[in-house]
Amino acid sequence: MRFLEVTGKTIEEALDKALRELNVTKEDVDIDILEQPSRGFLGFIGTKAAKIKVTVKATPKDLAKKFIQDILDCMDIDSEIKISQKNNDISINLTGEDATSLIGKRGYTLDSLQFLTGLVVNKSSNTKMRVLIDIQNYREKREKSLIRYSRKLAKQCAKTRKTIKLESMNPYERRIVHSALQNDRYVKTYSEGIDPNRKVVISVKNK
């Protein structure tokens, strides 16, 4: 975390110096007044300058990266963290074979890590941020697998005319299934149940 201790004739002068040197705005920093200025005897003997500490606030990206790095360090996992931000979306990708242990069964551990990181980021942000974490492109592979699986079940449902309930899924994965089958001529989908046990249901369309 970047910070500076700066002196000036006034607090405003010291702050202006610090902002210029750090190349930030007043909204980007926290300010601690270490010493108040004083004029001294007869206005000049013993004059004391103002002294402040200016600390650059952590950005949402900084908070997310630190939180994940702390978890990796605690679990002794060697992984590179790649992080980017576009508007209110923060995308994080972890690479390295060790990191795959954080995926968990059907991505449940990964989803938990994503949820907790979002809480940490939004606790200190004035704007609602959306955090998406991936490991070794797991989500892309999972998405392709779900699309293939849902289309296979849709054909089975249409052929047998029997309703099929899929395994419990998180909201992100349910959306993938709904999207994959939304234009199917023979079947429709809907969700039932309560998270974390909410499931997608595939049934034949009424004609």
Greater confidence, 42 or 189? 189
Q: How confident is the model at residue 14 (pLDDT cuts 50, 70, 90)?
A: confident
Which pLDDT does position 44 carry in this prediction? Answer: 54
Q: What would the pLDDT profile of 123-134 be if each residue is shown by its tens digit? A: 877 789 999 999
Question: Per-residue DSSP letters for 67-106?
Answer: HHHHHHHHTT---EEEEEEETTEEEEEEESGGGGGGT-GG
Alpha-carbon distances, residue 73 vs 69, 77, 99 (angstroms): 6, 6, 11
User: What structural domains and CATH numbers belong to the chain?
Assistant: 3-56 (no CATH), 60-136 (3.30.300.20), 140-204 (3.30.1370.50)
**What pLDDT was estimated at residue 91?**
95
Distance CA 147, CA 202 (A): 13
